[in-house]
Amino acid sequence: QVQLVQSGAEVKKPGASVKVSCKASGYTFTGYYMHWVRQAPGQGLEWMGWINPNSGGTNYAQKFQGRVTMTRDTSISTAYMELSRLRSDDTAVYYCARDDGHYDSSGYYAHSSFFWGQGTLVTVSS
Amino acid sequence: QSVLTQPPSASGTPGQRVTISCSGSSSNIGSNYVYWYQQLPGTAPKLLIYRNNQRPSGVPDRFSGSKSGTSASLAISGLRSEDEADYYCAAWDDSLSGHAVFGGGTQLTVL
């Protein structure tokens, strides 16, 4: 069965960076886009961006441009999200989410719904 | 400020029918499918409705979705205590280079 297992909770100081991992199993890792979504305490869901595990191509929300880097290691079916220059308002649960879309006949990826990892709490505090 | 607009809260008594609305624009709901996610306390979101009105296997038929123009709604009939959760609508937005957008979430209370 499809599983996304994320790395454990992190505590970081302001200005530092954090790298969260998301190990996929139960499907062909390179066949589906992977997204990252975060949720601050008591708040809603905020989309951060996606990575195409096949090509390594990325697309980030404007809010995170310049601070976020999404990468992958296809040899171990793992996606990563690194957020730099952390601030206190980056404290949140970070989710990876598999995009259940598909490639159409022209090679275009049609996005669809998300299958979520369990989440990783990142706390930014001095 | 979320791109999609949902009421922050909704409530109902067991057995009742409740609806949660989600309002967007022509670039997201108006031209793309709507998805609904259920988030139980302390857990990751779970897909409830895809492609406007389709239920994944395992989701009870008490849950239904609809879409009209730039708005969508989620209906829950025969409300049960275990339906108490946060509900989020989502869509893809063509004006944002295919970015995903979410509603702010609706906290459902079963009285």
User: Hey, is A14 helix, strand or coil?
Assistant: coil
**What is residue A108's predicted lDDT score, i.e. its pLDDT?**
86
Contact across the interface for B100 and A35, Cβ inside 8 Å:
yes
Mean pLDDT of all residues in B33-40: 98
Q: Is the pLDDT of residue A46 over 80?
A: yes
Name every chain A residue with its beta carbon within 8 A of the beta carbon of B100.
Answer: 35, 37, 47, 111
* Nearest alpha-carbon partner for A35 in B28, B33, B102: B102
Q: Is the dihedral of CA A28, A29, A32, A35 positive or negative?
A: positive
Query: B8 — contact with chain A (CB < 8 Å)?
Result: no
Q: Is the pLDDT of residue A40 over 80?
A: yes
CA distance B104 to A104: 31
Answer yes or no: are the C-beta atoms of B84 and B76 closer than 8 Å. Answer: no
**What is residue B88's predicted lDDT score, i.e. its pLDDT?**
98
Query: B105 — contact with chain A (CB < 8 Å)?
Result: yes
pLDDT band at B95 (very low <50, low <70, confident <90, very high): confident
Answer yes or no: are the C-beta atoms of B63 and B74 closer than 8 Å. Answer: yes
Name every chain A residue with its beta carbon within 8 A of the beta carbon of B3.
Answer: none
Q: Are strands A10-12 and A120-124 parallel, antiparallel or unpaired?
A: parallel
Answer yes or no: are the C-beta atoms of B18 and B110 closer than 8 Å. Answer: no
Query: A119 — contact with chain B (CB < 8 Å)?
Result: yes
Query: A27 — contact with chain B (CB < 8 Å)?
Result: no
Residue-wise pLDDT for A58-87, tens only, equals 999 999 999 999 999 999 999 999 999 999
